[in-house]
Copies of this chain bind each other. A is one copy, B any other.
Amino acid sequence: MARKRAPGFEAQREDILAAAARLFAEQGFSATSMNQVAEACGVAKPTLYHYFQDKQELLAQICDSHVHALLALVEEVKAQQLAPDAQLRTLIERFTRSYADAQAQHRVLTSEIKFLADAERERLLDVERLVVGEFATALCLVRPELREAKLHKPLTMLLFGMINWTFTWLRPDGELSHEALAALVSDLFFGGLGAVQLRQAAVIQ
């Protein structure tokens, strides 16, 4: 039997991850020092190395837990077996709302993943691709002809663009709530789908 961790071990570890996520999101991974992380959670720098092997592992843990939370979210919606329109709309709204609680984690996942080692980064990108794939599949249930026109993936990425870009401009305490934003994105995307011309992918090459 392995020896028990000290009682506060997991809580302390989560504290460090949360502080690191906030700093990495604000300053970037490279511009953030381990001393800053230590100071932010009120411990000495060597303490960090008791919980994490190195700076990269901090980043890897933040990205890993967040991308798996996103995957769990889409799996949960999928399990509800909603009608196509309702499913895609629910995905959009759940996703947009999830940013309210995990802004820092999401910014780190999208902006700092390049600082991971190749193997670790590819492993996480594979999980990201699963998440994107579920959105693309849900989209094809709504408008199946998009798949043969090879527009389901581009349209999915335009949708992710709308959602992910919000962290550059949406103030958490501003007039526009995440709920209202989710409805706006849904309306815009669903309305736009009907107007998309299907000839484009063929035109290209």
A interface list, Cβ under 8 A from B: 26-31, 110-111, 114-115, 150-151, 154-155, 157-158, 160-166, 168-170, 175-177, 180-181, 183-185, 187-197, 200-201, 203-205
Contact = CB atoms under 8 A, between A and B. Distances in A.
Contact of A157 (B165, B187, B191, B194): B165
A12 B160 CA distance: 39
A31 B12 CA distance: 29
Q: Is the interface of A mostly helix, strand, loop or mixed?
A: helix
A175 B195 CA distance: 22
Given A114-B28, A161-B165, A175 B150 contact: yes
Contact of A184 (B26, B151, B163): B151
A98 to B, nearest CB: 16
B162 A158 contact: yes
A195 B188 contact: yes
B201 A180 contact: yes
Contacts of A165: 157-158, 160-162, 164-165
A89 to B, nearest CB: 12
Given A155-B184, A191-B196, 6 more contacts: A26-B114, A157-B166, A157-B170, A161-B163, A161-B168, A180-B203
A205 B179 CA distance: 12
B188 A176 contact: no
Among A185, A187, A193, find the residue whose CB has the most chain B CB atoms closer than 10 A.
A187
Contacts of A114: 26-28
B183 A191 contact: no
Among A30, A162, A170, A205, find the residue whose CB has the most chain B CB atoms closer than 10 A.
A162
Contact of A161 (B154, B161, B175, B176): B161
A64 to B, nearest CB: 19
Contacts of A180: 200-201, 203-204
